Amino acid sequence: MSALRQAPAADGAAAPGASGIRIDTVTHAYRSPGRPPVIALDRISLDIGPTEFHALLGPSGCGKSTLLYLLGGFIPVQEGAITTPKGRVTAPGPERSIVFQNFALFPWKTVRENVLYGLRKSGVGREESEARARDFIALVHLTGFEDAYPSQLSGGMQQRAAIARTLAVDPKILLMDEPFGALDAQTRRVMQEELRAIWQRSPKTVVFVTHDVQEAVFLADRISIMSSRPGRIQHILDVPLPKERGEDTLESREFIQLSEHIWRLVREQAVAATRGRL
Ligand SMILES: Nc1ncnc2c1ncn2[C@@H]1O[C@H](COP(=O)(O)OP(=O)(O)OP(=O)(O)O)[C@@H](O)[C@H]1O
């Protein structure tokens, strides 16, 4: 396929000191007594550019979440290094925000208070925080639910509140672990378009974990496809679609061809992973 280019390094890839992320030969093993270690990641190297939207795809258990949590500083780097312009990642930091699969809202705070919490914590003033909270609650279609507590919302609404909380802070590096997994198909599509539009208005490094090939192709500039046991990056592909993406994108020949091609590559990894377990 001529539009495709195997892309071992991004154009404008992050050099340490520029913004973006450099992942340098990172290996991660989970160890428990009396069991062989699980090598979740094996010598992963990847440069993600300062304004790049990067998607991670791969079969279940290939280490996507592990890599994202390492980038977030939630689990310590065992071998290799992860560098951002702030230096080596050793702990969570204000320049990196993460949206987890299962929302992580404060149950004792309302939607508005949850969104305000992130803003106030990152030093945004009261008035600006109130305005941003209003805007981002509207963006995720939760206007009217500002004073609701998480327990009063559906799973999808809670997830949208969590997304609003993270996006409102406008972090330099946005890490997302299947953030739209709990949403119905319609809402998911709207949120994908909104996220892409937000990223275009305020370009930042995004690392987006998903199982959904079309979601990855619609959102990302580059896609890494991982293999499992051990987790390695098998392919890095450019997504040569126009920057502006919407309904038309989904119907374009380029989108359909690229999605099919990537689907085949992911399937190969999934088949290999299943064989490995038999
Ligand atoms: N706390 C843990 N202890 C032991 N093994 C773990 C732990 N967390 C993850 N693993 C193992 O590490 C590997 C990578 O897991 P990880 O959750 O990162 O994969 P994933 O690609 O995000 O999977 P999924 O797509 O199903 O969410 C898997 O084999 C998993 O079983």
Burial of 137 (0-12, 13-18, 19+ CB in 10 A): buried
**19-35 average pLDDT score:** 92
| Structural domain harbouring 132 | 96-170
- State yes or no: pLDDT of 190 exceeds 80: yes
Q: Give 63's contacts (C-beta < 8 A, 6+ positions apart).
A: 28, 40, 41, 44, 226, 228, 230, 231
Write the DSSP symbol of residue 113.
Answer: H
Q: Whose CA is nearest to atom 30 of ligand 1?
A: 61
pTM, full prediction: 0.88
What pLDDT does 2 receive? Answer: 33
Task: Tell me the C-alpha distance between 53 and 57, whole Å.
Answer: 13
Q: What atom in ligand 1 is closest to the CA of residue 209?
A: 22
Task: Tell me the C-alpha distance between 147 and 144, whole Å.
Answer: 8
**92-112 average pLDDT score:** 87
Please check whether residue 265 lies inside any domain of the structure: no
Please check whether residue 218 lies inside any domain of the structure: no
Task: Tell me the C-alpha distance between 132 and 114, whole Å.
Answer: 12
Q: Is 123 left (phi over 0), alpha (psi -120 to 50) or beta?
A: left
- Tally the domains of the chain: 1
**185-189 average pLDDT score:** 88
State in Å: Cα 65 to ligand 1 middle: 7
Which pLDDT band holds residue 12 (cuts at 50, 70, 90)?
very low
- State yes or no: pLDDT of 6 exceeds 50: no
Residues within a 6 A CB radius of ligand 1: 30, 38, 40, 58, 60-66
Which of 127, 207, 126 lies closest to 166, judged by CA?
207
Please check whether residue 165 lies inside any domain of the structure: yes
Q: Which two tokens stand for residue 26?
A: 């990172």
What pLDDT does 9 receive? Answer: 39
Crossing angle (nearest 10°) for helices 155-169 and 126-139: 140
Query: Amino acid identity, residue 143?
Result: T
Please check whether residue 235 lies inside any domain of the structure: no
- Structural contact between residues 46 and 23, judged by C-beta atoms closer than 8 angstroms: yes
Please check whether residue 193 lies inside any domain of the structure: no
State in Å: Cα 74 to ligand 1 middle: 14
Task: Please state whether beta strands 79-84 and 21-30 pair in parallel, antiparallel, or not at all (unpaired).
Answer: antiparallel
**What's the pLDDT tens digit per position in 253-275?**
999 999 999 999 999 888 887 77
Q: Whose CA is nearest to atom 16 of ligand 1?
A: 63
Which pLDDT band holds residue 121 (cuts at 50, 70, 90)?
confident
Please check whether residue 120 lies inside any domain of the structure: yes
What pLDDT does 277 receive? Answer: 63
- Structural contact between residues 80 and 23, judged by C-beta atoms closer than 8 angstroms: yes
Query: Amino acid identity, residue 99?
Result: V
State in Å: Cα 30 to ligand 1 middle: 9
Lowest mean pLDDT among 80-84, 89-93, 207-211, 270-274: 270-274
Average pLDDT of the chain, as a whole number: 88
State in Å: Cα 227 to ligand 1 middle: 12
**What's the pLDDT tens digit per position in 199-257?**
888 889 999 999 999 999 999 999 999 998 789 999 999 999 999 998 899 999 999 99
Sign of the CA dihedral 21, 24, 25, 31?
negative
Please check whether residue 138 lies inside any domain of the structure: yes
Please check whether residue 9 lies inside any domain of the structure: no
Task: Please state whether beta strands 205-209 and 21-30 pair in parallel, antiparallel, or not at all (unpaired).
Answer: unpaired
Q: Whose CA is nearest to atom 12 of ligand 1?
A: 40
**What's the pLDDT tens digit per position in 131-167?**
999 999 998 889 999 999 999 998 888 888 998 898 8
How many CA atoms within 13 Å lie on the side-chain side of 46?
Answer: 29
